[in-house]
């Protein structure tokens, strides 16, 4: 199959590109970049010298080429893909979009949190939220898949098995999430410079992070009730990884075994979700497509503490996109994503 990548030189884009390079069924037809148009991909990322020497093309050239490929990845900052996708919607090409533009169904929420106007509601409603563990069958036949955000992936995989159950207090959900610095993208802001971010830990965007409504919409749809929750992201001085610590009150009495059974059952067919009985760590999923989960019942408070760990650039982004591509193209879901290469 032939693919193209718009936005190949951001951190998510380059991770996607290197996974595509190694994928046994994929041929990369073009790489596109705003910032580095005309430069070799291997000059932007010197690691890929002698490996990926093709030149990055510009957006317009990429759009012209969409008919020559089977699947287009768009890995741009939020708000950039809407216009592009509207321009190519009649082309015969599948699309996986990394942005938030098509992740939510509700026009008003998208408008409120992202300032984006969806004019073509049919197009919006056609988009499938690309979390395979939730929407596997819809993804298989989708033409347009909205790849989930990194925080929502970790949060939703931690919460989905419980949502809709009468014994959880959905008003009590607190998601305390921590991410490595790649989550902020390849930027040159002072706060992301080495000396400022290193040896530092902080929260940001308290009560206002735009992944909040994404998480809430998916959960609300599953629960058939409006769910509002607290979500606090933090910045960890490391490159990769998200660990979410999720708190939720139980209404009745459940044992740890009952809870374990719920999760094991929910994920029994999901290769990339690993139920653990030891504490998840970001390092244990680093550079893999796994989500490691632990559910702890704190009997003193009758609260569940759920730990969910992923690699934000793999399961939280490029790896999940490959997983979605495999589903859309009829390949084995794990193709090019199995196992783990590098612990350190």
Cβ-based nearer residue to a second copy, 107 or 283: 283
Q: Which of residues 45-84 bind a second copy (CB under 8 A)?
A: 45-51
Min dist CB 195 to a second copy, Å, is 5
Cβ-based nearer residue to a second copy, 255 or 340: 340
Radius of gyration (C-alpha) of the chain in whole angstroms:
20
Q: Which of residues 263-302 bind a second copy (CB under 8 A)?
A: 274, 276, 278-288, 292, 296, 298-301
Cβ-based nearer residue to a second copy, 87 or 111: 111
Contacts with a second copy, 21-50, as mask; x by CB under 8 A: xx----------------------xxxxxx
Residue 117 is a binding residue for a second copy (CB under 8 A): no
Cβ-based nearer residue to a second copy, 5 or 197: 197
Q: Which of residues 163-192 bind a second copy (CB under 8 A)?
A: 171-172, 174, 176, 178, 180-182, 186-190, 192
Residue 161 burial (CB count, 10 A):
22
Backbone phi and psi for residue 109, each to the nearest 5 degrees, phi listed first: -60, -45
Cβ-based nearer residue to a second copy, 18 or 105: 18
Active site residue 56: no
Min dist CB 148 to a second copy, Å, is 20
Backbone phi and psi for residue 235, each to the nearest 5 degrees, phi listed first: -105, 120
Cβ-based nearer residue to a second copy, 138 or 334: 334
Interface size with a second copy, residues (CB under 8 A): 87
User: Among 257, 240, 213, which residue's Cα sits nearest to residue 309?
Assistant: 240
Residue 288 burial (CB count, 10 A):
22
Residue 227 is a binding residue for a second copy (CB under 8 A): no
Among 14, 147, 155, 324, contact with a second copy (rule: CB under 8 A):
14
Give the SS3 label for residue 184: helix
DSSP 101-145: TTT-S-HHHHHHHH------HHHHHH-EE--HHHHHHHHHT-SEE
Q: What is the DSSP letter of 189?
A: -
Spatial separation of the C-alpha atoms in residues 261 and 79, rounded to whole Å = 40
Residue 15 is a binding residue for a second copy (CB under 8 A): yes
Q: Which residues, at least 6 apart from 251, have a Cβ–Cβ distance to it below 8 Å?
A: 166, 167, 168, 169
CA 73 to chain centre: 13
Residue 253 is a binding residue for a second copy (CB under 8 A): no
Min dist CB 196 to a second copy, Å, is 7
* Residues 194-210 as b or e (16 or more Cβ within 10 Å = b): eeebeeeeeeeeeeebb
Among 194, 224, 268, 330, contact with a second copy (rule: CB under 8 A):
194
Residue 210 is a binding residue for a second copy (CB under 8 A): no
- Give me the active site residues, please: 150
């Amino acid at each position: 199959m032939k693919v193209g990548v718009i936005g190949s030189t951001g951190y998510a884009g380059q991770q996607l590109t290197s996974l595509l390079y190694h994928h046994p069924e994929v041929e990369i037809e073009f790489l596109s970049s705003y910032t580095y148009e005309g430069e070799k991909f291997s000059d932007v990322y010197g690691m890929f010298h002698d490996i990926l020497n093709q030149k990055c093309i510009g957006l317009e050239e990429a759009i012209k080429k969409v008919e020559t490929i089977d699947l287009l990845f768009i890995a741009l900052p939020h708000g950039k893909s809407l216009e592009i996708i509207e321009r190519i919607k009649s082309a015969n090409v599948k699309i996986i979009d990394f942005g938030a533009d098509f992740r939510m169904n509700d026009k008003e929420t998208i408008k409120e949190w992202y300032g984006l106007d969806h004019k073509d509601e049919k197009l919006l409603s056609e988009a499938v939220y690309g979390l395979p563990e939730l929407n596997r069958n819809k993804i298989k036949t989708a033409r347009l898949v909205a790849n989930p955000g990194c925080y929502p992936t970790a949060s939703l995989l931690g919460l989905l098995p419980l949502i809709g159950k009468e014994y959880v207090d959905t008003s009590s959900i607190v998601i305390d999430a921590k991410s490595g610095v790649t989550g902020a993208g390849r930027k040159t802001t002072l706060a992301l410079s080495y000396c400022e971010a290193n040896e530092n830990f902080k929260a940001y965007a308290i009560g206002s992070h735009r992944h909040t409504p994404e998480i809430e919409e998916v959960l609300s749809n599953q629960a058939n009730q409006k769910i509002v929750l607290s979500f606090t992201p933090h910045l960890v001085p490391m490159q990769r990884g998200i660990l979410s610590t999720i708190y939720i009150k139980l209404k009745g009495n459940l044992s740890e075994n009952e809870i374990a059974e719920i999760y094991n059952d929910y994920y029994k067919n999901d290769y990339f979700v690993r139920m653990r009985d030891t504490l998840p760590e970001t390092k244990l999923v680093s550079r893999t497509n796994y989500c490691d989960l632990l559910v702890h019942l704190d009997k003193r408070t009758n609260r569940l503490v759920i730990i969910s760990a992923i690699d934000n650039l793999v399961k939280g982004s490029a790896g999940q996109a490959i997983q979605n591509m495999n589903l859309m193209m009829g390949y084995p879901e794990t193709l090019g994503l199995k196992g783990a290469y590098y612990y350190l």
